[in-house]
Amino acid sequence: MKKKFSLPAQITVALIAGIIVGLICAGLGLADFTANYLKPFGTIFINLLKFIVVPVVVLSMVSGIVSMGDMKKVGSVGWKSLAYFLCTTAIACVIGLVIANLFNGAGLFKALPLAEGAEWTGATDAKFMDTLVNIFPTNLWESFRTANMLQVIVISLMIGGGILAAGEKGEMCKKLVESAYAVVEQVMAFIITLSPIGVFTMIAWVVATQGAQIIGSLALVILCAYVAYILHTILVYSLSVKVFAGMDPLDFFHGAASAMIFAFTSASSAATLPVSTECVRNMGGDDDISSFVLPLGCTVNMDGTAIYQCVATVFLAACCGINLTIGQMVTVVITATVASIGTAGVSGAGMIMLAMVLTAMGIPVDMIMIIYGVDRIFDMGRTTLNITGDMSCALCVSVWENGRLKW
């Protein structure tokens, strides 16, 4: 039996083929051909992404909330873990935005000619209080129709909390959500299988229009993301294990090395779970605590995903000739933090969540295909960051609960 050609491999081949076709068309003066006959297929794929964003966000978040059961049973370990994850994810967003803006400010992210003259329809005066007020919806269906993602998130949180509060009376609704989510996951899986077509057609069109310029831009945005990944790993996780767990950061990274390497090569937090569990045990973490914190981290701790979303948002905004204001960046932090948690358990949803952040900022979702072809490279780094954060949290919570590590 022949080994199945994996989706990442298909996307890589599609990316390379799209670049080659795009360069050939550019050389032969056939840019119009790519715009008229290739780009429409990419547009269809983008339309499907837009279609699935709201259902995925609503059902994944509600399903994640109700799956936790009685919140009182989660106990102090759950709340401390969630607080740790939320804080580090918010910091990750800030680091991602700072590094991305440094790259952008240095002129490394440049507007693409195809976007010149395009009018941005997103918010231009995102004051904090206005953002805060607009987070809360007045009409459920209007929030869904306009894909107002901050409002969609609030609606999801309220519905999930309501189902939990209803107890037995909410069981039917809980089962309905779980069933609907299972269906939507299958629909999303189908859309994701179309990724190679979307990547090939959109990249061919972009390269035919931009030439080699866009290839250099992709290398820069990958470099930007990895600089942010490394900074977050060194600064945040080193400080947290040192301050909260009383552990030498070098000892931590030495003990976590095998899980980090496995995560980088597999790009799967779930597949890395047995390795990270063993690493935490060897570093003195409590087995009972790590058995709760690590799976929870695979679900809600997405620091790497948050950095990726922030870097990608600034880069794609720059490609459109947009300079984000401080108020808009605050919106990015809020949206990316919650969106990264909403990524929980949704296979291949990094692109869906990025589409959500772009939608919230009013940036054309079509631009996502510029970087999606190299998403695997981003994914390797962000998965490594995610599981490193899980392990640091398990060690910190072990100390908070037991007073020390089991050395």
Quick check: is 119 in a domain? Answer: yes
Quick check: is 1 in a domain? Answer: no
What does each C-alpha distance from 119 to 36, 52, 122, 123, 320 come to in angstroms?
A: 22, 25, 9, 12, 9
| Ranges 74-78, 140-144, 300-304, 345-349: which has the least confidence | 345-349
Which CATH number belongs to the domain containing residue 195 in this structure?
1.10.3860
Quick check: is 63 in a domain? Answer: yes
pLDDT: which is higher, 260 or 149? 260
Reading phi first (left if > 0) and then psi (alpha if -120 to 50, else beta), residue 2 is in beta
Whole-prediction pTM value? 0.70
Identify the domain containing residue 264 by its residue range.
7-402
Closest CA to 219 of 114, 101, 370, 13: 370
Quick check: is 91 in a domain? Answer: yes
| Ranges 72-76, 97-101, 235-239, 266-270: which has the least confidence | 72-76
pLDDT at 182: 87
pLDDT: which is higher, 223 or 151? 223
pLDDT at 355: 77
Q: Model confidence over 267-281: pLDDT tens digits?
A: 777 677 778 888 898
Quick check: is 95 in a domain? Answer: yes
Q: Which amino acid is at 253?
A: F
Quick check: is 154 in a domain? Answer: yes
Highest mean pLDDT among 157-161, 179-183, 296-300: 179-183
Q: Per the structure, how many domains does the chain have?
A: 1
- Say if residue 336's pLDDT is above 90: no
Q: What is the mean pLDDT of residues 305-321?
A: 85
Q: Model confidence over 113-128: pLDDT tens digits?
A: 544 433 334 433 445 5
Q: What is the mean pLDDT of residues 356-377?
A: 76
- Say if residue 349's pLDDT is above 70: no
Quick check: is 2 in a domain? Answer: no
Quick check: is 407 in a domain? Answer: no
